[in-house]
Amino acid sequence: MQQIIYEDGHTALAAARQVKRVHARVRGVLMEGTPRFPAGTPYRASDPELLLWVHSTLVATALRTYENFLPPLSDVERSTYYEESKMVGRVLGLTDADLPADFGAFEAYFQSMVDGPDLAVTPGVRALAENVIHPPISWFPRIAGEALSVATAALLPEPVRGLYGLRWSYRRQLAWRLLRRSLRETLPYMPNMIRAGRHARRGERRARSLAA
C-alpha cells in the first residue's frame, strides 16, 4: 500500500498487480458462520463488495487517526482526500460504479456497514485480532501491546469495538487521552525520518523536485 500511494506510477502499478495476485489466491467458504452469512458461504478477496469494505476501512481509519493526533481537516480537505483515495481503489480492482460518488456518500456507506447486519466477529477472527494486538513475539514489549490495544479500541467505531469485546473503561479512556496529548505535542518536533516512512519520504522528494 505504501508503494501504491507514494511511489511513481510504474512502481505503484507493479505493487497493485502483486496485491491482485495475492487476492486471486484468497478464496474459499466460511468455516464459521455468522448471523448474516452461514458456514459454507463462498468468498473471494477480489469480490468488489469485499474490496470496497477493506478500502473504506483504510480511508476512514486514516482520517480518524490523523484528526486524533493532528489539527482537524476541513470539509474540503476530507472530500479531497476521499477523491484522491479513489485512485487506489481503482488500481486494486474497483470501478467508479463500485465506489461511493462523493465523501458524503462514502460516510453514509461506512456508517451503514458499521450499524448494519453484515459485520460479525467469529472465534477465529477474535483470535486473529488478539495476535495482532498482542503479537506472540518474545521481543515485543507487553507495554507496547497495551498501548496498541488502547489506541486500537479508541480508534474503532464504538459498535465495532463492542463486536470485538475490547475493554473500554475509565482507566483506558484516561490512558488514551494521555497518549493522544503526548503525541500531539511531540509530533511537530519529530524529525521526518521518524514521522514518515521511506516510501513517503521518497514521494515527498519527488513532489518537491516536480514543483521545482
Distance in angstroms (rounded) separating the CA atoms of residues 81 and 135: 32
What does 52-72 look like in DSSP terms, one character per residue? HHHHHHHHHHHHHHHHHHSPP
Distance in angstroms (rounded) separating the CA atoms of residues 212 and 205: 11
Distance in angstroms (rounded) separating the CA atoms of residues 153 and 181: 17
- pLDDT tens digit sequence for 9-53: 899 999 999 999 999 999 999 999 999 999 999 999 999 999 999
pTM, to two decimals: 0.88
Distance in angstroms (rounded) separating the CA atoms of residues 95 and 108: 19
- pLDDT tens digit sequence for 167-209: 889 999 999 999 999 989 998 888 988 888 899 999 999 989 9
pLDDT recorded at residue 39? 95
Q: Quick check: 78 pLDDT over 70?
A: yes
Distance in angstroms (rounded) separating the CA atoms of residues 75 and 170: 31
- pLDDT tens digit sequence for 95-106: 999 999 999 999
Mean pLDDT of 53-62: 96
Using a 10 angstrom Cβ sphere, with 0-12 exposed, 13-18 middle and 19 or more buried, the burial of residue 191 is exposed
Distance in angstroms (rounded) separating the CA atoms of residues 98 and 113: 15
pLDDT recorded at residue 140? 65
Share of the chain above pLDDT 70, in %: 99
pLDDT recorded at residue 66? 93
